[in-house]
Amino acid sequence: MPIIKFLCSFNRQGSNTRIKWNSQMVGKFIVLLALILLTIMTRNYIQKMLEPSPRPASTVLGNEAPLCTGNLLDKREHHYAKKADGSYDNSRLITKTGSCHLTRYTQAEAVGCLDALYDHLTEKSSNKPNLNLLNNSRKRLHIAFVGDSRIRQQFHNFLKLIPDYDLIFDPNPIPLAFHGDVEVISNLLRLRITFYWQPLIDDTVVELTRIWATDDETDPPYLLVLSMAVWHMIIQFEGADQHQLYQKRLKELAPILDQLANVSHIIWLNQYPTLEFYGNIGVLNTDIHSEKIHHYNLAIRRILGGHKKVRIWDSSNPLAEEYVRGCSLSQRVTLTQIANSFVHCKDFSHVGYIALSQSTQLLFNDICNDGKLIR
């Protein structure tokens, strides 16, 4: 230890060694120590200055584009960006003015959005007591899903982003592939989410939407997601042309949806394409298939497209199309070689979980990013 030898003198008495300090040596030690610390600090500062500046978090995450806002559900206004390998980038959309990025909604962020919608509703209802935006007896934000098993998929996936603090299910538990109505309530979150099993556009659907639109004593949904078509493709109505009958019933429903849109935000889910073969048994789908669904979607766009208050959700179709292509490829590889999104390929009419989850993320981005449902 050269420094200690320089600053200290030794006085040995027996087996003990004592360091004798004097004021001059202590002063030199302090000065030397200060110089050493200053040198180290200066070197670290210079190294830090020479390092490249870190990129902003948005750039690191690939979110340098602005947040996606506007009508994200209409593919004529927004569509998914494509990657170099031809697959879709589920974090970016392309618009007429450029690209934008999507938020990945967690349970906390989803609840924050729904809380903001509820607060807005209560404030607006108090300012206009005659406007039944929020039923005063229930004091809950009502979100409804109406349709067949495809809408039931959307309902269940929407629930996955709602934390189970105090959820009350009716029925409980919800039976698998349940052909019935379901209600989920959270008093803590001031939330009511319902699913109405309505696979056909019939008198029941017409009457349900009419009551919501006209009866102030009911609890109309603040957000309504609905769709029904595939059952019209498989059920014979006394020899009637299925497609023509579907258009007729849709035209009857359209003006009522327009009226309901005065108190509810309405989204009609476009019908997803299907797998060409039924599961893994090699039987060609003849009753429900993509070409047939396309004709029904054209009718939906033609009839409901003129009703500006009803939005058609078709921008998620590429997710389903990619799922279908993946399932087709999976017939030629082993199960361990395919992604988890394709484990439901035996179900020809329902989209896989990953594609469905991405569509739910798109729905939350649409209703939450720019307060679209606050009006």
pLDDT tens track, the chain, 375 positions? 444 444 444 444 444 444 455 666 766 667 677 666 666 665 555 454 444 433 333 333 444 789 999 999 999 999 999 888 877 888 999 998 899 999 999 999 999 999 999 988 887 666 655 555 555 445 799 999 999 999 999 999 999 999 999 999 999 999 888 999 999 999 999 999 999 999 999 999 999 999 999 987 889 999 999 999 999 988 876 667 889 999 999 999 999 999 999 999 999 999 888 877 655 555 667 788 888 999 999 999 999 987 778 999 999 988 888 888 877 776 654 444 444 444 567 777 888 888 889 999 999 999 999 876 765
Question: In terms of Cα–Cα distance, which of 259, 248, 271 is closest to 309?
Answer: 259
Confidence at residue 162, expressed as pLDDT on a 0 to 100 scale = 96
Q: Which two tokens stand for residue 139?
A: 């004091």
Q: In 3-state terms, what secondary structure has residue 302?
A: helix
Measured from the Cβ of residue 223, the count of other Cβ atoms closer than 10 Å reads 20
Instruction: Give the three-class secondary structure for 225.
Output: strand
Distance CA 250, CA 248 (A): 5
Tokens 């319902």 correspond to what residue?
Answer: 194
| pLDDT at position 85 | 80
- What's the angle, vertex CA 30, arms to CA 26 and CA 35, rounded to 5? 150
pLDDT of residue 308: 77
Q: 70: alpha, beta or left, given left = phi > 0 and alpha = psi -120 to 50?
A: left
How do 141-147 and 168-170 pair as beta strands?
Answer: unpaired
Contact 161, 110 (CB under 8 A): yes
The pLDDT of residue 193 is 97
CA dihedral 111, 113, 119, 122 (to 10 degrees): -90
Which letter does DSSP use for residue 336 in this model?
G
In this structure, the chain runs to a length of 375
Phi, psi of 212 (to 5 degrees): -60, -35
The structure tokens listed for 214 are 């006209």
- Whether pTM > 0.85 for this model: the answer is no
Sequence-separated (6 or more) residues with CB below 8 Å from residue 372: 69, 70, 71, 265, 366
Q: Which long-range contacts (CB under 8 A, 24 or more apart) does 156-162 make?
A: 157/356, 157/357, 157/359, 157/360, 158/193, 158/360, 158/363, 159/184, 159/193, 160/357, 160/360, 161/105, 161/106, 161/107, 161/110, 161/360, 161/364, 162/107, 162/110, 162/111, 162/186, 162/189, 162/191, 162/193
The DSSP H or E segment spanning 91 is strand 88-95
Q: What is the pLDDT of residue 275?
A: 79
Give the integer Cα–Cα distance in Å for 344 and 346: 5
User: Where does residue 71 rank: exposed (0-12), middle (13-18), buried (19+ CB within 10 A)?
Assistant: middle
**Residues near 11 by beta carbon (within 8 Å), at least 6 away in sequence:** 17, 18, 20
At 273 the pLDDT is 85
Strands 141-147 and 191-197: parallel
Return the SS3 of 298.
helix
